[in-house]
Structure 1
Amino acid sequence: MTMKSESTTATGAPPQGLSWNQRIVPFMAASVGFLFLSFVLVSLYAWFYTDAAVQAARVGALRSLLVSSEPASPSPDLAGRVVHVRGTATVGQPVADTSIGVTFERALTVQRIVERFRSGRNAGWNPDEMRHLPSPGVRLGGWSLTEPLLAAAPSVLEPMRPGADYRLPAGMMLSESDPWAAYHVNSAKARTSDPAKHLADGDRRLMYRALRDGPLSVIAAVDKTGQELVPVRIDGDNVALLANGAVDAAVMIDDALKDANATRVETTLWAFAVGWAAFLIPALWAPMRRWAALTLVPLAGVVATLGAAMAAAVPGGIAGSFLAGQAVATAYVLVIVLLARRRGALG
């Protein structure tokens, strides 16, 4: 009695009658396509995952340096220590953007973002300028909040609406479809309609994001005088946590870690889904049972690649994460080549 064995035959077995070129050329084409896809996949994964992983590592380092979860008061004894402070933040003087004559009365700090539109094949907005404009003499209880501290946590800033939160700068226009930006346009048509819908090369848009006065919570370092709060230097970057309202230190840290970890999980899931399809391409030549070649082989490849990129993200940065992941992806193809040659699938 004979039984069908199509579902259990080894993939990559050399079809009878095919020449060496007829066997190797499709595999080479598939390998080149896979390496290109893996390059794109690992590049994007390294970019997004590393940023979140580094953020989580820095928050973890900040937590380990925190001397107490209880709110601290100014003291020379705390110089150089990391503390938790909360209270009502007040401005010293209004923030003024003297370049265009705009004033923000109740802002502790303002971030100014200017973008310029480029037309053509890769049309879009390109960063032109980004500046932080702090209010001089910001106080939080008895503490002084320094300019580097206020610039260290941009995620706490909120967008401001031109014409409502601040006076529309002279020569600029409002947009109904983009109410958070002021536009400076070159097109005559844009001046009579929504400027965001009739963009021309060289158009600019101006956006402000601000941290307003009021209840504020901070985790930061104390300067040598024991009176000022400054960011903590971790791996060459300024690190601090700020939150609107009276927020416990543990909650601030948990929220920061939750955001970073959610990004890491989301990035890994989409990379795994896309990677499975990409890693399936060379797996078709794997010299083993079909069900294993279509499931276990690409699974092992994508897990190993993403795992290597994860492990290298914090110590190696984006470049290290990419190199580690791409090295494993390349090794994945080479292993399949060696196994397929041993079985004679590639001649």
Structure 2
Amino acid sequence: MSQPISLGLVGLGVIARAQHLPALKATPGLRLAAIASRNAGLETLPSYPDIAALLDAEPDLQAISLCTPPQGRFAQAAAAIAAGRHVMLEKPPGASVSEVQALSALARACGVSLFATWHSREAAAVAQAREMLADLEVRSVEIRWMEDVRHWHPGQDWIWQPGGLGVFDPGINALSIVTRLLRDPVRLTRAHLELPENRQAPIAAQLDMVAGLQTRIRAQFDWRQTGKQTWEIVLRTDGPEIALREGGARLEVDGEARISAPDQEYRALYARFEQLIARGESDVDLAPLQLVADAFLLGEQTRVAAFHD
């Protein structure tokens, strides 16, 4: 039996602790061997202040998983790829489309695997919904992705800065699901962005999109929702109405529950990363990030009340 792939985890914030560490523990083909983080570490593993120190001190590492904010991630990923390591990118895969395209080209040149992950595509209901839609014509899609930023991103200033995406940080999860479900490419036709007067990224956004020639898609993203959070996608077809709720964990067909399952998204991502490395392949789908970039290009902007944590 072959040895597990040794992996270094870069970034040890909330998402790394809540999702990446448990998923890695549950993936026998991967072995977490070291940590790089400016402000944290694990007592049981070698820990380094940054990726440069990690790469220098751990020459036997085979792969790197990056859980850092998208700003600055290009330099980290490029260093790992140039050092011959396979790289997995937390979503969004970068601060811009062009930098992830450059990373993809670098990975090909260096002969390593690059995986731009979209964890919401691994939600329990997504695969079955996609199978059902293969025989249906989708007439319209309504996305409502609304949550409380103070709960999910307390004190995280980077998310309000250029490259941090603002409300598109969660909203891109919905876009990743829709671009996975629909057969035709999705294009943006109109966007309206609401930016707090003291921030550089939107707190809310409304998008109009089209898949193929006639499937209309309307998305509403908002970071000001309190109480029960809303993550749902409703697809109206020439047959049943198909709804994904709870971020894709729950599938309803004409209002009847078909799937409701616990979160296994990151376990599926790491299993996929292991598979890509074994096959010598990469997986870099930029469709969700491209839609966000287009929203910043085409979007009308309105200044709204200042936001304070």
TM-score, normalized by length of structure 2? 0.26
Instruction: Tell me: higher relative CO, structure 1 or 2? Use CA pairs within 8 A at least 6 residues apart.
Output: 1
Larger Rg: 1
Higher helix share: 1
